[in-house]
Amino acid sequence: MSFLNSQTSTAIADRPSAQVLIIGAGINGIATFRDLALQGVDVVIVEKNDYVSGASSASSHMIHGGVRYLENGEFRLVKESVEERNGLLKIAPHYVKPLQTTIPIFSTFSGVMAAPLRFLTHKQGAKHVERGAMLIKIGMMIYDAFSRDGGSVPRHEFRGRTKALAALPLLNPGLKYTATYYDAAMHDPERLALDVLRDGLDAGPHARAANYVEAAGMDESGVLLRNVITGEEFRFQADVVVNTSGPWTDLTNDALGQPSTFMGGTKGSHVVLDNPELLAATGGREIFFEHEDGRIVLIYPLKGRVLVGTTDLEHDMTQPIRCTEDEIDYFFDLIAHVFPTVRVDRSHIVFRFAGVRPLPRHDDETPGFVSRDYRIESRPLPRTDAADGTLLSLVGGKWTTFRALAENLGTDILKLLGLPRTVSTEGLAIGGGRDWPASEEAQLVWVQAHGDAVGTDRAAALLARYGTRANEVIDFLIDPVGPADAPLRHNTDYTRREIEFLAGSEGVVRLSDVLLRRTSLAFVGAVTTPLIEEIALVVAPVLGWNAARCAAEIELARGTLIDVHGVDLAPVAEAVLVDQAVLVDQARLGADE
């Protein structure tokens, strides 16, 4: 059960060396870790916060080919992206699903003359010119040629105003056409990343990982690693050090004594809305369109809510990353443009988040035209009593291409180590996508087979939540050694034993890890102060927290949700804190017995 909880800074400090040290456990670092682990490489990955808690946790929840990259001339990236999208639909079907996407179009020929200028200069021009139907049609035809995967992905479809409004009647009646095509939705990015990490760890003891461990410095005797919870420090030696800390790459290199100016990330913000009218208006499809300022934005139904994003703003990585009130006003303006009769206001926001894209430095280039492709920068690392090592810095990268990026980066690392590639991850199922029951009939068989243990509704929910790794969860829920399971009082979608499983097996260090990344509770707006308190009491005995630590975690989680994600939470009642102290101590005593 404890595949991640055995992975701690202590386990790494006990053997402070490896062939490869990866710094930064976003999706690209984790995927590179998996790729190397499958080759048998002695590899360690560390992350100064929780796994996949930085830029990778702030995505638009899409796996897409990047149709707009065609305008930038990035045909290689589009081809790779659509191939990887099609591949992820097959190897991670539990989290990556087909997504019907519709573009509302308000003109016929607009943008035809401006497009060559944008293509050649990567600048918008003095005045934004909307992309009309002809330009979008050309782009869709090229996109089809790249993305159809032997015909398994439907071709795009153009509709005139009458048919478009018949399908989506609340769209702006001023539109002239719609273009509809298919990309893919990524329902649970953080859980997909944990599956990738688990695959790497399952390769054997040569693969080790730890969250809440930062790279604090480096000299010729190795990298100084620090446990950010305990303050413990130790030196770690590796032949190859890989910096995959995304938009923080330059800051990480500075800490390592290797200054760089590779990065120029831009901030993208999103809001999650609980608005049934807007949800119904989308017709179950993503609405993907160009706002009047030229930004590409989206309105996207997900988990019974509507995700709206994103912005593309310059950001100083030394400053907090927050979704601002101005950005929220921007989102409301774009919703009004697409669905003018749907009322949306701040009372509908249940969650907000922002992240910085790990883009390369781009100076005066317009943010929207900065390449989403990736490159690898290499430097020698002088070492005492050993040949020089190598520092590799990943610049760029995105969710859609994480597998291909990791295989390319992994191949470069293998060459540095003088090792052959023995395994390709192309077509290799990820985590709970292994043995996935692809058809409705097969899923029904799976659910019925496991329904005797936990009930068919519960089995279906767990299959959707964890893929076929739901087997492990179910085995834990019905283990007679543990206490009887029961739904949480303040959210019956989860049970006490399921939360115990997550805390005991998935590297949870802080309470916010459960609320924000091991579950979707915060994303859908289900977190309340009583629920935070209840989950803390479930987690505390599993992780050995005393009453003081439990109270501190509650306040830290509340502060993060309020300050970073704009969640409206009631204060913790003092009487509740007293009760918690008693309950935590009782739970710990029971666990000790």
The share of the chain scoring above pLDDT 70, in percent, equals: 87
What dihedral do alpha carbons 327, 333, 338, 344 form, nearest 10°? 90
Beta-strand relationship, 157-160 and 374-381: unpaired
What tokens appear for 458 in the block?
């519960």
* Alpha carbon distances (Å) from 346 to 16, 127, 267, 273: 50, 31, 21, 9
**Does residue 560 have a pLDDT over 60?**
yes
pLDDT value of position 121: 41
Q: Which helix (H) or strand (E) holds 394?
A: strand 389-396
Cβ-based neighbours of 389, under 8 Å, separated by 6 or more: 238, 239, 240, 241, 380, 381, 383
pLDDT value of position 593: 46
**Cα 407-223-543 angle, rounded to 5 deg:** 80
Cβ-based neighbours of 96, under 8 Å, separated by 6 or more: 63, 88, 89, 184, 185, 186, 187, 192
pLDDT value of position 151: 56
**Does residue 588 have a pLDDT over 60?**
no
Q: Whose CA is closest to 305, among 355, 339, 350?
A: 350
Query: What's the one-letter identity of residue 92?
Result: A
Count the neighbouring beta carbons within 10 Å of the beta carbon of residue 364: 6
> pLDDT for 245-280, tens place per residue?
999 999 999 999 999 999 988 899 999 999 999 999
Mean pLDDT score, 120-128: 48
pTM for this one? Answer: 0.92
pLDDT classification of 579: cutoffs 50, 70, 90: low
Phi and psi torsions of 288, nearest 5°: -125, 120
pLDDT value of position 109: 53
**Does residue 364 have a pLDDT over 90?**
no
What tokens appear for 93 in the block?
């079907």
pLDDT value of position 356: 93
Q: Output the furthest CA–CA distance in the chain (Å, rounded).
A: 77
Beta-strand relationship, 17-23 and 213-219: unpaired
> pLDDT for 487-496, tens place per residue?
999 999 999 9
What tokens appear for 163 in the block?
């048919």
Q: Whose CA is closest to 5, among 544, 459, 409?
A: 544
**Cα 92-41-215 angle, rounded to 5 deg:** 90
Mean pLDDT score, 509-529: 97
> pLDDT for 79-122, tens place per residue?
888 899 999 999 999 999 999 999 998 887 554 434 443 443 44
Query: What's the one-letter identity of residue 78?
Result: V
Q: Which of 79-93, 352-366, 375-389, 519-533 tops mean pLDDT? A: 519-533
Q: How far apart are CA 524 and CA 567, in angstroms?
A: 11
pLDDT classification of 482: cutoffs 50, 70, 90: confident
Topology alike, domains 9-55+191-264+371-417 and 96-189+271-354: no
What tokens appear for 536 in the block?
């803390």
What tokens appear for 445 in the block?
């068989």
Q: Whose CA is closest to 395, among 501, 229, 262, 512?
A: 262
Q: Where are the domains of the chain?
A: 9-55+191-264+371-417, 96-189+271-354, 435-590
Count the neighbouring beta carbons within 10 Å of the beta carbon of residue 564: 17
> pLDDT for 277-318, tens place per residue?
999 999 999 998 877 766 778 999 999 999 999 888 888 888
User: Which residue did the predictor score with more confidence, 398 or 516?
Assistant: 516
CATH architecture of the region 9-55+191-264+371-417: 3-Layer(bba) Sandwich (3.50)
pLDDT value of position 369: 58
Query: What's the one-letter identity of residue 348?
Result: H
Q: How far apart are CA 460 and CA 334, in angstroms?
A: 36
**Does residue 408 have a pLDDT over 60?**
yes
**Does residue 370 have a pLDDT over 70?**
no
pLDDT value of position 459: 97
**Does residue 66 have a pLDDT over 90?**
no
> pLDDT for 201-230, tens place per residue?
999 999 999 999 999 999 989 999 999 999
**Does residue 592 have a pLDDT over 70?**
no
User: Chain-wide mean pLDDT for the chain?
Assistant: 89
Q: Whose CA is closest to 591, among 554, 545, 551?
A: 545
Q: Are 265 and 277 in contact (CB under 8 A)?
A: no
Cβ-based neighbours of 581, under 8 Å, separated by 6 or more: 547, 550, 551
**Does residue 438 have a pLDDT over 60?**
yes
Q: How far apart are CA 309 and CA 512, in angstroms?
A: 23
Superfamily per CATH, domain 96-189+271-354: D-Amino Acid Oxidase, subunit A, domain 2 (3.30.9.10)
Q: Whose CA is closest to 365, among 123, 556, 191?
A: 123
Cis amide linkage into residue 310, ω under 30° from 0:
yes
**411 DSSP 8-state letter:** H
Q: Which helix (H) or strand (E) holds 382?
A: none
Angle formed by the axes of helices 547-563 and 529-543, nearest 10°: 140
Phi and psi torsions of 192, nearest 5°: -60, -45
